[in-house]
Amino acid sequence: MMDADRALAPLEEARPAIDRLDTYSSPQELTEALEAIGQAVERSLRQLLRLDASFPDEIRLNAQDTTALPFDRVVSLLRQRDRISLQLGNEVHALRQAVERGRNGQVRAADADTASALLAQLREEVRSRPPASEQAQDEDVRTVTHAAVERGEFEEPARPVALWRAGPRLRTVLVVALGVIAVVLAAWYIGARLRRPSELEQGVIAFEQGRLAIAEQHFRAALAEQEDATAELYLGRILRRQGRFEEAAAVLNGARKRYPEDADVLRELGHLLAVDLKRPAAAAEAYRRAVELEPDGAANWIALVRALRAAGDASAETWLARAPADAQAVLKSERP
């Protein structure tokens, strides 16, 4: 697994909480999502520190130890070596403030946007970093060079010699050096092009930053290239947020037919039916299928029982009794 994937793995594990930034139905649910995301971000940054070979072994070994290395210290260390930007450091602080407000019952809708912006920035910065081995090599080169300069081992640079006045050997060396530089620059350019995010990836980044119009363009461009469940899912979310419910229904119903075993698509369709179109009975059918596909997903059970209750369906309590413990804990507190 690439270093970036390992550092970002905690965010993938927190995907249900991240999804709730778009679907939460109460301040308590938003607060719980922010708490889970805050914990995932901390684990991600600690992993980033542990993987960075430029830090002393003692620091890296203690990267996951919250007692030996408090989170504030982790952020400070990463900032000192420009492993994360000042902007990202500020966004981490803003999320921690949002979590604290939530614990005090003062969570705000804007806190969801704060968390989304942080997640997008963290992914972008981690993905753009060179591998840890290359960082270590860069650090070694800088260290050795600095030491040599301090010892006075570098002589004063020789005066430039015109290429046409140089001897055959020097001309050969210069030509070879220029050729190497050209190859390196070409490789860098090709690598930069190859690393360019896809339309889908750019769409996800724009969505998480709240730039919905730009995100829509990227997702539609991705779908023009090929069918993709994720692109359709996000496009449906954008249309829901913008109140374009008929368009959202067309996109999500089409996605459900193309990807009948995608629980995320079914759950999003259920949200459209239950929350936006006020059709809880129809929503329950989508949620029920999502439960069948992902029986361990608490979010599916919660959505199903809520829809059945809203539809006045007596089977709601039967489904509640079968739900996972974490889903039951949420739903029992909401019992009508």
- d(C-alpha 62, C-alpha 77), whole Å: 13
Q: Which of 281, 257, 260 is nearest to 270 (CA)?
A: 281
Q: What is the pLDDT at residue 237?
A: 92
152-210 per-position pLDDT tens digit: 554 445 555 555 455 666 667 666 777 778 776 766 566 545 557 889 989 988 888 88
**What would you report as the CA-atom Rg of the chain, rounded to the nearest whole angstrom?**
26
Q: What is the pLDDT at residue 176?
A: 73
User: pTM to 2 decimals?
Assistant: 0.48
108-130 per-position pLDDT tens digit: 888 888 898 889 989 988 888 66
pLDDT over threshold 50, residue 1 = no
